[in-house]
Structure 1
């Protein structure tokens, strides 16, 4: 039986390049599965505003949740072997804020 997850569509589109070159716009579209309700998490972090910038709070929340879901799905992958214990401590600290 497959675990139920929330499904999201994510579109990332380039807007402006740092070097000023007018390269063609690029875009990637992904469907993301996540066990958490991402909009609620983004809103909570924006309300706490840990960085003094609600946009950064949203970027942080989204990046963290996408990353952590991949890590959970691949918890036995050697790439995450050293990171997993520290990441668990980090998440506990973040949730206690």
Structure 2
């Protein structure tokens, strides 16, 4: 299967009480069959959330859904698959309703 490769980095900026945190990062590589950066760009143009919220939603959803797809035979992921598919369909429908009909699909 062809896939894009990404380096994902999460850096802690503050703790739960707002205190600065330095030097705490998590970095890993992930493959995905979709262009994640393009998806987030299209989502930012279509959804009524701030850019960071849209990026979090898009990246989190696509990373999770890729694992669910790859592990579809695992009972844990089989259980969530119908709800995940319904959520993605609703997200696509919502964004399609908010823009002109001639624009393409979101995810």
Q: Please, what TM-score do these two structures have when normalized by structure 1?
A: 0.85
- Cα offset, 1:32, TM superposition: 0.8
Aligned to 2:75: 78
Cα deviation, 1:5-60, whole Å, max 9, x if unaligned, reads 00011111111112355655311111110000001100011111233x12201110
2:44 to 46, 52, 68: 46
| CA contact 1:46–1:55 (8 Å) conserved in 2 | no
Task: Provide the alpha-carbon RMSD of the alignment.
Answer: 1.6
Secondary structure of residue in 1 paired with 2:57: helix
Q: Distance in 2 between matches of 1:9 and 1:43?
A: 18
Cα deviation, 1:50-81, whole Å, max 9, x if unaligned, reads 33x12201110011001101111101111122
Aligned to 2:17: 19
2:56 to 33, 49, 59: 59
Structure 2 spans left out of the alignment, 5+ residues: 95-107
